[in-house]
Amino acid sequence: MKSIASAPGKIILFGEHFVVHGTKAILAAIDKRVTVTSTLTEDKTIKVNSELGTLEVPISSSYEAAKSEFRPFIYLANKMINSNQNVNGLEITIDSDIPVGVGLGSSSACCVAATGSIFGLFKEWSSEEILKISIEAEKTIFPDTSGADCTVCTYGGMIEYPSIEKIGNTFDLNLLIANSMILHNTKNSVEKVNKFKENNEERFSQLCDLETKLIDEVITAMKNNDTTTFGLKMSENQKYLEEIQVSNDTLHGMISTLNEISLGSKITGAGDGGCIIALVKDGNVNKVPALLGKDKECFSAKIDTKGIVWSKI
Ligand code: PMV
């Protein structure tokens, strides 16, 4: 018997970093997924197979001893084994089409899909339960997570975090994702922003207020079908991200290049590398590869509406 769960990756449209400090954020799940398959074994081990390698450890091994990319799986496997006395071992296989380490929610989607798959071996769980446990799993890699990423990967669609209510966007968001191909480390970027906050308390608090106002304006723009304002707000948000120093020359260069054919563009996720998103003007998408150059990867983002999907065979 296999328990299979898949969850989508995500983009942060507005509010990354500030969301860690209590502001709202707007996120959307995207049509790239990770699938986790779990099978019970008799081996008294937890085995994890992924494109990052294979790990096999005795059951009850501490997750802290594992490399960070394996920790959530060991944490989740032990949590499940501890609450089911007749489980001897577990094999977990991860298949993903979400690029790793570039701000598209690969680790959150893994945590959500792994929770659904591992815990789904015995019963179907509610989305609320899966979300709660997946955030615990993500904290084994990144203790300060806002929880926004796991939330959108669980529920799908576009959400105004911390609400899980889906935003029904009335206009067609022609969003393009471009990968700088520079890996980033969310924990390091968040720590850097914490330092910025410590050294610039008053300005950081102003920026949080500005971000809150900006998100309210974006919600109004969406209600009014106003793509121009939506794009302008992306570029305004990018200025706040530059001020807290999570951009760099490569990202800045990509954003400036795309501005001539976009209504707005910005970093998505932690920054310091990873991806940018651009609201490309109609008919301009095919110009992007030539503008950015061959060394950057770009693709259109479609919004996933399903969130976590689970099955048992
Ligand atoms: O780059 P990512 O996908 O790890 O996104 C991080 C988003 C932050 O706001 C910087 C952190 C968080 O937990 O919300």
What type of residue is 171?
F
Residue 15 CA: nearest ligand 1 atom is 9
> 300: which strand partners?
176
Distance CA 114, CA 164 (A): 20
* Separation between Cα atoms, residue 300 and residue 241, nearest integer Å: 23
Token pair belonging to 204: 């950081």
Closest CA to 264 of 241, 289, 294: 241
Q: What is the pLDDT of residue 117?
A: 98
Q: Using a 6 Å CB cutoff, which residues line ligand 1?
A: 12, 16-17, 19-20, 103, 105, 145-146, 148-149, 186, 190, 269-270, 274
Q: What is the pLDDT of residue 283?
A: 87
Ligand 1 centroid, distance to 12 Cα (angstroms): 8
10-residue mean pLDDT series, the chain (313 residues):
97 98 96 97 95 92 92 96 89 96 94 97 93 98 94 96 83 87 93 98 98 96 93 98 97 94 96 96 89 91 93 91
Best mutation site among 110, 150, 186, 277 for ligand 1, i.e. most ligand atoms within 8 A of its Cβ?
186
Specify the pTM: 0.95
Q: What per-residue confidence (pLDDT) applies to 306?
A: 95
How remote is the CA of residue 17 from the centroid of ligand 1, in Å? 6
Distance in Å, CA 82 to ligand 1 centroid: 30
Catalytic residue among 31, 95, 97, 149: 149
How many Cβ atoms from other residues are within 10 Å of residue 1's Cβ?
8
Report the C-alpha gap between 253 and 230 in whole angstroms: 21
Q: What pLDDT score does 171 carry?
A: 67
Q: Which ranges of 224-283 would DSSP assign to H, the alpha helix?
A: 227-243, 249-259
CA 187 to chain centre: 13
Instruction: Please confirm, yes or no, whether 149 is among the known catalytic residues.
Output: yes
Distance CA 189, CA 170 (A): 33
